[in-house]
Amino acid sequence: MTEQKLRELLEDMSLEEKVNQLVQLPGTYYKTEASVTGSMGRREFTEKQISQAGSTLGIWGAETICRIQESYMEKQPHHIPLLFMLDVIHGLRTVFPIPLAQGASFHPELARDFAFAAAKESVASGVHVTFAPMTDLVRDPRWGRVMESTGEDSFLNSQMAEAMVRGFRGKMASCIKHFAGYGAAEGGREYNSAELSRHTLREYYLPSYEAGITAGCDMVMASFNTIDGIPSTGNKWLLRHVLREEMGFEGVLISDWGAVGEMISHGYCEDKKEAAFRAIDAGVDIDMCTDVYANYLPELMKEGKVKEKLVDEAVLRVLHLKNKLGLFENPYGEADEAREREVVLCKEHRKLARDKAAETFVLLKNEGGKEAPLFPLDFEKSIAFIGPYVDSSDLHSRWAVAGDGKDAVSVRQAAEEMLSGEDITFCRGCPAMGENEILFGSAGDEKTRKCIDKETSEMLSEAVKGAQSADTVVLFLGEHRLQSGEAASRGFIELPKRQMELFRKVCEVSRHVAVVLFNGRPLDLREIEENARAILEVWLPGTEGGYAIVDVLTGKKEPSGRLPMSFPYCGGQIPVYYNQCATGRPKQGREDKDFYRSRYLDIPNEPLYAFGYGLGYTSFQLSEACLSRDCLLKGEDGLQAWADVANTGSRPGTETVQLYIRDKFAGVVRPVRELKGFQRVSLKPGETKRVIFEIKEEMLRFHQPDGSYVSEPGIFELWIGSSSETDNQVEFRLL
Ligand code: GLC
């Protein structure tokens, strides 16, 4: 539809019809199964509001969506199509590794390809918009939604956000969320306030949202938290000044589920009428799942407290999005049952999910010494696969709203299929969860109880026996998928107690224990680190996870992920992240004995595993970092930094070479180092490659106290290494 026609349409709409375009209802209002991702609460909608709401969420399926759209269009006074939105966070039916795992790949193209495949399945199933990518920077693993982020670094998150938006673009609309700073919820407690200075917000949290916007996302979702004591949903500085004016975002701005009404609970609005005013005034276009806009905007407009122009602008943005998706010409979009059957869980998507998962797995430990490392497994030896994740095919997160374990195979099924001739015993050993472990959702309901396996007394003894008689034991342990995700903050970031009991019993009878970990967040792994000889982090690997894990355990694939988020030494060390500032009394390395330092009495400052860390199945040697010049002139071409990386082992492998820079002295204290580049380099045994980074002045800019974003002349340290702990350093000066 032409712009002219759109404006004529807007002109022709009644005030009530306009307001209803700004209302989003859960799919359950359209008489169908729908994913519900928020509390339903009590809402009053008239039949007309339901039949005229501009969008809905939580529905997928070509037949269902076409049926709803057809009856909706009949009732809609101007036949404006309904917009269908869904949380397609890491795949639709072919579920890919969780976003935190995708961050671990340090491979933006992988994230782009996953998003593109997800988009193909989604549009064939009738979905128009995804509420992804979530680009919140995270530093607190107690927060359940770290699984949905790509980690603790704004440079990596920006690269991933841009890649995911590009993957969705052209197929379906994407939505950057949650604007802004939701990942900074204090104490990692869900929905808590975020206490961020504007400097910290701009320096670390905003870049990845902006990267997604620059890449062309169609929508932005406001976050639940407050910024400067004002809920994002009503925060005019954040939404109109920063998002619209500074970042130039012109697309649709949607609230999060119920967030418009929740400004009352925040104590920011006295009632729904004030909430309606605050939200529309701040620039929120769509009110997700409350009746605030529907029931109070018309009143505010009639009283002249809200100008119709303000509502018109919001409605026009929604109409523009529908028009951009071609829905006025074809309200059913690409919804097509035949196409849906063809593309959903198709071989190509399954292959992508399986082949690429190894790039998200992080090998945390693989001790060799006198004996060969345990991974890849030596099938000349007898092997025991033990643990609750041995025969679980529930390898996806709660955010895989359309995912189903029945589409996946467990590690055991994959191993029995791929390794039928090998001497492997399988046993569960213990229930996934103990009776007293709390999962998301009411602990008593049937669905949750299913997660608590039926415990049998011989489970543990059978596992110990199996461990005793095997040369190598591989334990498959992890959080339950209902222990991470939204509304799943945890005070203790440990494996379930029953699994740790199993781990201890097995370690009593075997010295050759390896652990494969399934989790949605960094965990406290001290005891595992002390006693296991090998540790492989596979996160929640999705539909093809079973096969992908066996591919890696057999050495057919190499795990090449690097940590996108620090694993704390223990919960008490949180928040711990690599790019902290020095403080006035920095601890000088692990051995510093001076107590008058920024340190703890009882634990180290360093995380158990650092950002950027990960091993492979071969070894790499990095030459000293070199520079083309030792000074960089503002306004002139940059300088080059390089190092040669060699594969010094006997197997092919991929190293992620990382570039870090520190501004040693500046008008605002700067982090001890910041990731400014990374390159994945695949090398055959004995092969060497030069990895070159272009160092440009704009990489050295930061937010100044006066609000400008500029670099300062001075001394810079530069590292090229294989993790954020590298000491392969050189210096240069910016003149
Ligand atoms: C949830 C989440 C948000 C999601 C939305 C719709 O509360 O915060 O990420 O997209 O509701 O499901």
HEC assignment per residue over 438-453: CCCCCCCCHHHHCCCC
Q: Evaluate the CA torsion angle 227, 233, 237, 238 in order and state its sign.
A: positive
Is the CB of residue 182 below 6 angstroms from any atom belonging to ligand 1?
A: no
Residue 232 identity (one-letter amino acid): S
Residue 127 confidence (pLDDT) above 60 = yes
pLDDT value, residue 457: 72
Q: Report how far residue 70's alpha carbon sits from residue 89's, in angstroms, rounded to the nearest whole number.
A: 27
Is the CB of residue 57 below 6 angstroms from any atom belonging to ligand 1?
A: yes
* Percent of the chain predicted with pLDDT > 70: 98
pLDDT value, residue 57: 97
Determine how many CB atoms are found less than 10 A away from the CB of residue 630: 10
Summarize the confidence of residues 642-668 as an average pLDDT.
97
C-alpha count within 13 angstroms, C-beta hemisphere, residue 76: 23
Tokens 């940590």, located at residue:
563
Tokens 């960094």, located at residue:
522
Q: Report how far residue 355's alpha carbon sits from residue 347's, in angstroms, rounded to the nearest whole number.
A: 12
**Structural tokens at position 201:** 């917000």
Q: Report how far residue 290's alpha carbon sits from residue 13's, in angstroms, rounded to the nearest whole number.
A: 22
Among 34-48, 252-266, 336-350, 661-675, which is the least confidently predicted range? 34-48
45 pLDDT tier (thresholds 50, 70, 90): confident
Could you say which of 153, 256, 291, 391 is catalytic? Answer: 256
- Distance (angstroms) between ligand 1 centre and the Cα of 486 equals 8
- Distance (angstroms) between ligand 1 centre and the Cα of 670 equals 34
444 pLDDT tier (thresholds 50, 70, 90): very low
pLDDT value, residue 450: 55
Q: Report how far residue 55's alpha carbon sits from residue 173's, in angstroms, rounded to the nearest whole number.
A: 13
Is the CB of residue 179 below 6 angstroms from any atom belonging to ligand 1?
A: no
- Distance (angstroms) between ligand 1 centre and the Cα of 313 equals 24
Determine how many CB atoms are found less than 10 A away from the CB of residue 44: 8
Tell if the pTM clears 0.85, that is, is over it.
yes
Q: Report how far residue 388's alpha carbon sits from residue 108's, in angstroms, rounded to the nearest whole number.
A: 32
- Distance (angstroms) between ligand 1 centre and the Cα of 223 equals 9
Higher local confidence (pLDDT), 30 or 657: 657
pLDDT value, residue 140: 98
Q: Where are the alpha helices (DSSP H) in 169-271?
A: 198-200, 206-214, 236, 262-265
**Structural tokens at position 320:** 């523009």
Residue 153 confidence (pLDDT) above 90 = yes
- Per the rule left: phi > 0, alpha: psi between -120 and 50, beta: everything else, 655 is beta
Higher local confidence (pLDDT), 434 or 596: 596
- Distance (angstroms) between ligand 1 centre and the Cα of 338 equals 30
40 pLDDT tier (thresholds 50, 70, 90): low
Among 71, 67, 65, smallest CA distance to 83 is for: 65
C-alpha count within 13 angstroms, C-beta hemisphere, residue 90: 34
- Distance (angstroms) between ligand 1 centre and the Cα of 149 equals 14
pLDDT value, residue 451: 53
Q: Which of 138, 219, 257 is the pocket-test mutation for ligand 1 (most atoms within 8 Å of CB)? A: 257
Phi (first) and psi of residue 238, to 5 degrees: -70, -45
Ligand 1 atom with least separation from CA of 38:
7
Higher local confidence (pLDDT), 370 or 140: 140
Whole-number average pLDDT of the chain: 95
* Omega within 30 of 0 (cis) for the link into 559: no
Residue 571 confidence (pLDDT) above 50 = yes
Given 3-state DSSP classes, what are the helix, strand and coil percentages for the chain, each rounded to the nearest 5? 35, 20, 50
Read off the pLDDT of residues 160-181 as tens digits, 9 standing for 90 and up.
999 999 999 989 999 999 999 9
Query: Quick check: 577 and 152 in contact, CB under 8 A?
Result: yes
Summarize the confidence of residues 448-461 as an average pLDDT.
70
pLDDT value, residue 449: 58
Residue 425 confidence (pLDDT) above 60 = yes
| Cα-Cα end-to-end distance for the chain | 54
Ligand 1 atom with least separation from CA of 58:
12
Read off the pLDDT of residues 706-727 as tens digits, 9 standing for 90 and up.
999 999 999 999 999 999 999 9
Sequence length of the chain is 735
Q: Evaluate the CA torsion angle 40, 44, 46, 49 in order and state its sign.
A: negative
pLDDT value, residue 453: 61
pLDDT value, residue 161: 98
Is the CB of residue 256 below 6 angstroms from any atom belonging to ligand 1?
A: yes
From atom 11 of ligand 1, which residue's Cα is the shortest distance away?
A: 257
Summarize the confidence of residues 343-362 as an average pLDDT.
98
Ligand 1 atom with least separation from CA of 134:
9
- Distance (angstroms) between ligand 1 centre and the Cα of 258 equals 9
pLDDT value, residue 34: 79
Residue 371 confidence (pLDDT) above 90 = no
Query: Quick check: 19 and 311 in contact, CB under 8 A?
Result: yes
**Residue 256 appears among annotated catalytic residues:** yes
Q: Report how far residue 416's alpha carbon sits from residue 677's, in angstroms, rounded to the nearest whole number.
A: 41
Ligand 1 atom with least separation from CA of 177:
9
Q: Report how far residue 515's alpha carbon sits from residue 495's, in angstroms, rounded to the nearest whole number.
A: 12
Summarize the confidence of residues 406-432 as an average pLDDT.
94
Residue 43 confidence (pLDDT) above 80 = no
Rg (CA), the chain: 26
Ligand 1 atom with least separation from CA of 35:
12
pLDDT value, residue 634: 85
Q: Report how far residue 358's alpha carbon sits from residue 168's, in angstroms, rounded to the nearest whole number.
A: 23
pLDDT value, residue 170: 86
Q: Report how far residue 631's alpha carbon sits from residue 626's, in angstroms, rounded to the nearest whole number.
A: 13
pLDDT value, residue 506: 98
Ligand 1 atom with least separation from CA of 178:
9
Residue 272 confidence (pLDDT) above 60 = yes
Phi (first) and psi of residue 362, to 5 degrees: -115, 120
Among 532, 290, 553, 518, smallest CA distance to 414 is for: 553
pLDDT value, residue 424: 95
Q: Report how far residue 209's alpha carbon sits from residue 174's, in angstroms, rounded to the nearest whole number.
A: 12
pLDDT value, residue 18: 97
- Per the rule left: phi > 0, alpha: psi between -120 and 50, beta: everything else, 716 is beta
Read off the pLDDT of residues 603-620 as tens digits, 9 standing for 90 and up.
999 999 999 999 999 999
Summarize the confidence of residues 686-703 as an average pLDDT.
97
Summarize the confidence of residues 45-54 as an average pLDDT.
91
* Percent of the chain predicted with pLDDT > 90: 91
Greatest distance between any 2 Cα atoms in the chain: 82
Query: Which are the contacts of 704, defined by CB distance < 8 A and separation ≥ 6?
Result: 667, 668, 710
Strands 620-622 and 639-647: antiparallel
- Distance (angstroms) between ligand 1 centre and the Cα of 487 equals 11
Is the CB of residue 37 below 6 angstroms from any atom belonging to ligand 1?
A: yes
Is the CB of residue 327 below 6 angstroms from any atom belonging to ligand 1?
A: no
pLDDT value, residue 15: 95
Q: Which of 25, 35, 37 is the pocket-test mutation for ligand 1 (most atoms within 8 Å of CB)? A: 37
Q: Report how far residue 460's alpha carbon sits from residue 28's, in angstroms, rounded to the nearest whole number.
A: 44
Is the CB of residue 407 below 6 angstroms from any atom belonging to ligand 1?
A: no
Residue 3 confidence (pLDDT) above 90 = yes
C-alpha count within 13 angstroms, C-beta hemisphere, residue 651: 16
